[in-house]
């Protein structure tokens, strides 16, 4: 059973989170924050795709190099 203190703390945390979310959505600079989040997401996606492409290229090179060595 939760005590009054624990319930009060949870309620206060929820209120603070709600206020932070409200400020993030409607506060000063919220549009810049939104754009920055989109840019960061796109950069992360680009880095991930680039990393996968590099690993795939290295793997393909290694496999093709082994085939060339066996042919000689």
Encode pLDDT of 28-66 as tens digits: 777 888 889 899 999 999 999 999 999 999 999 999 887
Using CA atoms in the order 11, 15, 16, 17, what is the torsion angle rounded to 10 degrees?
A: 100
Q: Which one is predicted more confidently, 1 or 44?
A: 44
d(CA 5, CA 8): 5
Question: What residue spans define the domains of the chain?
Answer: 4-71
Q: What is the pLDDT of residue 45?
A: 97
């Amino acid at each position: 059973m939760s005590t009054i203190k624990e319930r009060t703390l949870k309620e206060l945390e929820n209120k603070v989170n709600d206020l932070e979310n409200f400020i993030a959505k409607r506060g000063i600079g919220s549009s810049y924050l939104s754009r920055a989040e989109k840019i960061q997401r796109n950069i992360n996606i680009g880095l991930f795709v680039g990393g996968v492409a590099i690993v795939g290229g290295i793997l393909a090179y290694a496999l093709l190099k082994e085939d060339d060595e066996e042919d000689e």
